[in-house]
Amino acid sequence: MRGAGGFSLVEAVVALLLGGFLLHLGLTTMHRLQLHEARTRHRQDALLAERIARVVLRGELARADGTWRVGEDSVALRSYRGTGIVCGPGPATDEFTVAYRGDRLPDPRKDSVELTTETGVVSVFALRSTEPGTGACPGAAAGEETMRWSVDGLVPLDVVMARVFESGTYHLVGSALRYRIGRGGRQPLTPRVWEDERTGFGVGDAAVRLELHRRAGYGAGSSTEFLVWRRR
Amino acid sequence: MSRGDRGAVLVVTLLLVLALLGLAHALLVSAEAAYTVSRAHARVATLDAAASGLLERGRAEGWSPWMDAIVVGQTRVEPRDVAPGLAGVIRWRRLGAEGWILRADVADGSGSAAWWRRLVWIYHPDRRVASFPGVVSVGSGAMSSILGSVVPDVVPTVGTVAAPGLGPSDLGHLLAASDTLEEAGTPGPVAVAGVCVVDAPWNWGEPRDSTAPCGAYFAAAGRSGDLTVEGGVGQGVWIVDGDVVVQDGAELSGVLIVSGRLDVRGGSTLRGRVVAYGGLDLGVASVIVGSPSEAERALAAVRDRLGVAVPVHPARRLGPG
């Protein structure tokens, strides 16, 4: 149709403009969605890290033996690994049989043993050897493993409980909470979400607090403080 | 618009409605997930608090007569009411004559559960009597003046203790569990119509006649502050955070634990075991007779009052299982 010929160009231009606008709209929306998704993921990471720090440190100090030391950015402690209920002496004075349950089996290369008597007297020994128990352990509950342990000293006569520990340190460095066994490397336990300078422990006479400040991109300006341990 | 294009509007509208429905559903799922997480947290916190409370309840209940029938290694399981919708169980696992693992488990109908446990100590009369180093036990460095006589039995007349108390049960634990004494008075049996009045503050039982109405009653009494016993008779376990004077021919049998000085004079007699942490002044004609059996009888008789479960490990959580 001759009279309608010029409309093709106009239509094409309008279609291009409209298409470009829609493309721009789509790309902008996608970019905003990506930003929002990243921000949500980072906030989620920060919340996860705070939850891990709270659960891990509170749990460790609640189960620890009281010999821990707290610095500005670290806690050095004997980290709990399991409990053995003593069910009898061994053939030697440095041996005894336990019904054991723990996070892992005891390892004489790195573990120490805290022995508690009936009246609450606590003493600490190096664990020398462990082997499967041969006899029955009266009263052993389901899930407890009967074992015979040997330590580097005289076992108290009225010992009733033996807890296994390994030496470790929790550090707040590199924007994350990290755990270090003995003199090994620092393994991160949380995502890297905190600002190192302001994040750390506050130590009082009767309590230990932890202050966590989020770094840029993870909700900077937001901080959390909670009680890790309190004297009772 | 040509005739054939008209249906497109309906299709586009339907697609738009579907997209909006999908968006609304996504928002609903997101809100539901947040609610589920919050509810799970609340449930965990509730169960944990309930288990901790149940453990303290078990600890406060302390000694019960059935405990003597539990052998080392054996566990006694006792169901307890906790709260609507929550089932609780207390487990007493015997580790020795006086050592127990006390564990409290709480579960709800959904299968979620929480538990707490502690190593606790409840005294056993035999063990406690055997633990006294002397008929009279004093603190290290405390000065004593003994003009009367101390009659020994299986232990020496005087021994040394590190602290006043009953094993890990210190004065605080013992005073909290015992009846409160007045500053001074004369003890004696009080019976009405042949029934011993155990609420009378100076009724400390009748040690001279076991068949009398108050012959089987033993006092479990204490005082924060000084105490003067002016004559009279009594049997039981006494805990005093202060100085004590026993005078005017008083006759007491059982266990007397004093954080300060003990002054026994005026021809008074004590039988059993004595802790005078701040030192002893024993006057002429007064006597302290060592008697493990009388000390044991008194400790056994008041176990339902003084036999609290004392936590003996510093850790708040002992770990699994």
| A37 reaches B (C-beta below 8 A) | no
Report CB contact under 8 Å: A158, B316. Answer: no
Residues B259-269 have a mean pLDDT of 96
Residues B225-250 have a mean pLDDT of 96
Q: Measure the CA–CA gap between B115 and B50, rounded to whole angstroms.
A: 9
Predicted pLDDT at B319? 66
H or E segment to which residue A30 belongs:
helix A7-63
Report CB contact under 8 Å: A122, B314. Answer: yes
Report CB contact under 8 Å: A119, B119. Answer: no
| A105 reaches B (C-beta below 8 A) | no
Q: Measure the CA–CA gap between B248 and B129, rounded to whole angstroms.
A: 28
- Cβ count within 10 A of residue B32: 10
Tens digit of pLDDT for each residue in B204-226? 999 999 999 999 999 999 999 99
Q: Are the CB atoms for B232 and B249 separated by under 8 Å?
A: no
Structure token pair of residue B86: 């929550």
Q: How far is B262 from chain A (nearest CA, A)?
A: 27
Tens digit of pLDDT for each residue in A192-212? 999 999 999 988 878 889 999
Tens digit of pLDDT for each residue in A64-87? 877 888 888 999 988 889 999 998
**DSSP E strands, B70-197:** 75-83, 86-94, 99-108, 113-121, 136-139, 145-146, 149-151, 158-161, 165-166, 169-170, 179-180, 184-185, 191-192, 195-196
| B314 reaches A (C-beta below 8 A) | yes
H helices of chain B, in order, are 7-61, 125-131, 171-177, 292-301, 303-306
Q: How far is A87 from chain B (nearest CA, A)?
A: 7
Predicted pLDDT at B4? 56
**Closest-approach residue (CA) in chain B for A114:** B313
pLDDT at residue A57 greater than cutoff 50: yes
- CB contacts of A118 in chain B (<8 Å) are 95-99, 121, 312
In this predicted structure, which of A133-137, B182-186, B213-217, B257-261 has the lowest mean pLDDT?
A133-137
In chain B, the largest separation of any two C-alpha atoms, in whole Å, equals 130
Predicted pLDDT at B203? 96
| A155 reaches B (C-beta below 8 A) | no
Tens digit of pLDDT for each residue in B89-148? 999 999 999 999 999 999 998 888 999 889 999 999 999 999 999 999 999 999 999 999
Which of A:159-178 have CB within 8 Å of B?
160-161, 163
Which residue of A83, A120, A140 is in closest CB contact with B319? A83
pLDDT at residue B321 greater than cutoff 60: no
Report CB contact under 8 Å: A139, B167. Answer: no
- Split at pLDDT 50, 70, 90, the class of A88 is confident
Which residue of B93, B121, B315 is in closest CB contact with A65? B315
Report CB contact under 8 Å: A120, B72. Answer: no
Residues B43-57 have a mean pLDDT of 92
| B315 reaches A (C-beta below 8 A) | yes
Q: Measure the CA–CA gap between A194 and A199, rounded to whole angstroms.
A: 7
Report CB contact under 8 Å: B73, A161. Answer: no
Q: Using CA of residue A191, residue A193, residue A194, residue A200, what is the dihedral sign?
A: negative
Predicted pLDDT at B291? 96
Cβ contacts of B45 within 8 Å, gap of 6 or more: none
| A157 reaches B (C-beta below 8 A) | no
